[in-house]
Amino acid sequence: MPDTTILLMRRDLAGHIEAPAWPGGVVVQTLGQKPERKLLQAAHAVLQPGYWEGGGGAPIFRQWWKALRRDSEFDPSLVFIARDDQGVVGLVQCWTSAFIKDLAVASRTRRRGGGRALMLTTFHTFAQRGAEHVDLKVREDNAPAITLYKSLGMRTIDRMKA
Ligand SMILES: CC(C)(COP(=O)(O)OP(=O)(O)OC[C@H]1O[C@@H](n2cnc3c(N)ncnc32)[C@H](O)[C@@H]1OP(=O)(O)O)[C@@H](O)C(=O)NCCC(=O)NCCS
């Protein structure tokens, strides 16, 4: 299998950050302290194919939720879930260290600005929390995600082998 290169990308948070513009009919919420299992499962169902496309493995629901809620950097107010009248449109899950762990948008609603709005929401959130920057990792061959991140002012600060 060829070596995969992972990029570490960063958005500095000083200065203006554009306001998120949600696609029509989409609302956003955070996870909350006692999230409903139905919501979690719907969020995971969007994340799972996204993991494969993003180049990673996909944990089953129970493994995912168990690992997430036990992580010392987990904060339910840093999980943003976008929904419309058909269900979960997309989500972004961040660690408290101002790190974006996962981002995925359901294939039925892509290229409508949902991914961009989720990312901008995290930038505003971490800016309000006093962070100087937000980081994430992305596979170098994930062109859609990298195009999105660059359009949001993110830059590559490190490269590593997976
Ligand atoms: C990456 C992802 C989150 C983008 O979500 P999205 O809601 O479709 O993104 P947006 O509609 O907000 O796109 C904003 C901009 O990003 C870029 N972009 C998004 N998808 C793109 C694609 N498939 N090809 C090229 N550019 C793309 C474009 O510049 C786009 O603006 P435009 O539509 O006006 O041209 C989505 O494709 C996804 O869930 N992918 C699988 C999971 C994944 O790879 N996650 C990232 C792991 S690091």
Q: Are 146 and 156 in contact (CB under 8 A)?
A: no
Structure tokens at 106: 């359901």
Structure tokens at 155: 């830059």
* Cβ neighbourhood burial of 25 (10 Å; 0-12, 13-18, 19+): exposed
Q: Which residue has the higher pLDDT, 48 or 153?
A: 153
Per-residue pLDDT at 3? 79
Per-residue pLDDT at 56? 67
pLDDT at 1 over 60: no
pTM of the model: 0.96
CB burial readout 133-162, b (16+ within 10 A) else e: bbbbbbbeebeebbebbeebebeeeeeeee
Q: What is the pLDDT of residues 120-131, one digit of tens each?
A: 999 999 999 999
CB burial readout 78-109, b (16+ within 10 A) else e: bbbbbbbeeebbbbbbbeeebbbbbbbbbeeb
Task: Answer yes or no: CATH 3.40.630.30 is held by domain 5-15+22-154.
Answer: yes
Tell me which residues have their CB closer than 6 angstroms to ligand 1. 50, 53-54, 103-105, 110-116, 138, 142, 144-145, 147-148, 151
The 8-class DSSP code of residue 16 comes to -
Q: What is the pLDDT of residues 54-67, one digit of tens each?
A: 666 677 899 999 99
Q: Which residues is 92 bridged to in the sheet?
A: 80, 103
Mean pLDDT for the chain?
94
Ligand 1 pocket mutation pick from 47, 110, 120, 156 by most atoms within 8 angstroms of CB: 110
Q: Domain boundaries in the chain?
A: 5-15+22-154
- Alpha-carbon span 92 to 54, nearest angstrom: 13
Structure tokens at 85: 């009248």
